[in-house]
Chains A and B, each alone.
Chain A
């Protein structure tokens, strides 16, 4: 039998599943530290790629200067500067990633909790309906 309350709950659940739930339910499967760790790993690779891309573009920009001064440049100092810049960039981007991923995880957990609660309400609705249906059935005579 169709129940208005049950359909309302199911619609809300379906709405969440089809919209934010798609991503958030995946996020909530992880433990908080695991999720943040995964994001940091992803960030490490992307930041490294980004760093080398920017470095390449900067090298192209200063290509004439590099070609002229390549003999007189203190390579050790240059490497130290490049590594320091990389480390600095990585730290900044990692902090940003931690902050954003923690926020995202918190929001996802909150919404998934609401989703689970709603799921519980739906199950109770089903139980109630089943009990009602059983009560309506006439008791068998022994």
Chain B
């Protein structure tokens, strides 16, 4: 999961920086896939299947809006239909025009769903599109998905029935036209697919918009189940020819694709950088607007507070052994404690600096435990001095004795919790 999140952050960064170039490239590949899929399904005019024509069309589609890709795809389908029969192309033209006039004009920004639906059907993952557009779009996407399904089933109709009829020596025109219309209006498979996709999309959309934990993940699974159940019910009650293993594999594959998609889409703002040009009386302005990005995961630096740290530059000759170094340090610490009591750390930074002598106070508990009871020698002296200084400070700052917690005091406490003074003092006492 973390890998996906990191990858998402990287993708957002890349898209924000190079979105201007990435988008046309993606559109080019999408157009190439769509046109190749159409030519693969309807291969009746060999000239249109020429790779150079497909590449040129894809290049054009890369720089025009997605609606242009839809237009070119429709034209390609109709031109391929002319290879079967001119009536098939005419029927297709009327059908596409009716779809645009009655449905697509209400969903002008949903061209992607229309383009992707036939592609997903050809790849046997038809559930991927309604689930994906339930996640990223809204209920209006159902119109585009439905239109995409009609286009796909029209292509299948041409391949499976019309091409066979047209291949005959004598064509019964009446039967030919009736078969075309029947293939659209009396196609139970298409009807089930339409209901299935619309319901799946709405289920995913409704669950995704719920204020619940894991709503996005649940919506993907629920969408997959809804698609599967409706398809199986359709196959059972309308006696449709459905390959259950293909349906299962396709739905599971669609769910997996959409699951990965929701990881990238959820909470992702793929705003891209844009170029603007404007002018006033004095200047021409060429502005590149780059979206602000949140810093992903700042690297954590663990700062180890120890007495060796400040002495790095002081011992540059490196003649001292590790043992000597440690002895010196611990003694220095004890001395500094004494000094520290007399000159308490005003800044309260929490970091001990041996060179500047900014040492925080020693807690009384520690002194009482190790230094204070001793009556003779250096140890006792140190302990007494510290205790005296502690009493003096108590006198100076009565508000601390009354139990009020000062932020400075809190920081000092935190510092003492982080350094193991007990061990250091025990070692020093043993050596002495």
**Contact (A10, B181) CB under 8 Å given A56-B94, A57-B94, A57-B95:** no
Using known A-B contacts A53-B94, A54-B98, determine if residue A15 contacts B185 with beta carbons closer than 8 Å. Answer: no
Contacting pair A100 B277 (CB below 8 A): no
Across-interface contacts of A58 in B (CB, < 8 A): 181, 185
The reply on A73 being an interface residue by CB < 8 A is: no
Please report which residues of chain B, range 78-122, place their CB below 8 angstroms from some CB of chain A when the two chains form the complex: 91, 94-95, 97-98, 101-102, 105-106
Q: How far is the CB of B186 from chain A (nearest CB, A)?
A: 7
* Majority SS at the chain B contact face: helix
CB-CB under 8 A for A50 and B102, given A14-B277, A61-B186: yes
The answer on a CB contact under 8 Å between B101 and A49 is yes
Q: Which residues of A contact B185 (CB under 8 A)?
A: 57-58, 61
Question: A-contacting residues of B (Cβ < 8 Å)?
Answer: 91, 94-95, 97-98, 101-102, 105-106, 174, 177-178, 180-182, 184-186, 274, 276-278, 280, 283, 285, 287, 289
| B186 nearest in chain A by CB position | A61
Q: Is B276's CB under 8 angstroms from A11's CB? A: yes
Could you tell me the distance in whole angstroms from the C-beta of B281 to the nearest C-beta in chain A? 9
Q: With a CB–CB cut-off of 8 A, which chain A residues contact B182?
A: 61
Interface check A2, CB cutoff 8 A: yes
Give which listed residue, A7, A46, A56, contacts B105 with CB less than 8 A: A46
A34 part of interface (Cβ distance < 8 Å): no
Contact across chains for A60 and B181 when beta carbons are under 8 A apart: yes
For B103, the closest partner residue in chain A by CB is A50
Complex partner residue of B178 from A15, A61, A100, CB under 8 angstroms: A61
A61 contact from B94, B102, B181, B289, Cβ within 8 A: B181
Q: List 18 A-B contacts (CB under 8 A).
A: A7-B285, A7-B287, A10-B285, A10-B287, A49-B101, A50-B98, A57-B94, A57-B95, A57-B185, A60-B91, A60-B178, A60-B180, A60-B181, A61-B178, A61-B181, A61-B184, A63-B177, A63-B181
Per the bound structure, the CA–CA distance linking A14 and B102 in Å amounts to 35
A27 to B174, CA, bound (A): 48
List the count of A-B residue pairs having beta carbons below 8 Å apart.
Answer: 65
CA distance A64 to B177 in the complex (A): 10
Mask of A1-34 contacts with B, CB within 8 angstroms, 1/0:
0100001001101110010000000000000000
* Chain B residues in 8 Å Cβ range of A100: 106
Binding site for B on A (CB under 8 A): 2, 7, 10-11, 13-15, 18, 46-47, 49-50, 53-54, 56-58, 60-61, 63-64, 96, 100
For A47, the chain B residues whose CB sits under 8 A away are 101-102
A60 touches B106 (CB 8 A): no
Q: Of residues A2, A46, A56, A61, which shows the largest number of chain B Cβ atoms within 10 Å of its Cβ? A: A61
Q: Is the CB of B178 within 8 A of A64?
A: yes
Find the B residue at minimum CB distance from A122: B280
Q: Is B274 a contact of A15 with CB atoms below 8 Å? A: yes
Provide the residues of chain B in CB contact with A2, threshold 8 Å: 283
Task: Indicate which residue in A10, A46, A61, A64 contacts B278 across the interface (CB closer than 8 Å).
Answer: A10
CA distance A56 to B178 in the complex (A): 12
Q: Are B98 and A63 in touch, CB under 8 angstroms?
A: no
Cross-chain contact B289 with A50 (CB below 8 angstroms): no
Closest CB pairs A-B (n = 7): A61-B181, A50-B101, A53-B98, A14-B276, A50-B102, A14-B278, A60-B181
A110 to B94 CA separation, bound complex (whole angstroms): 39
Which residues from chain A contact B186 at a C-beta distance below 8 Å? 61
Find the B residue at minimum CB distance from A56.
B94
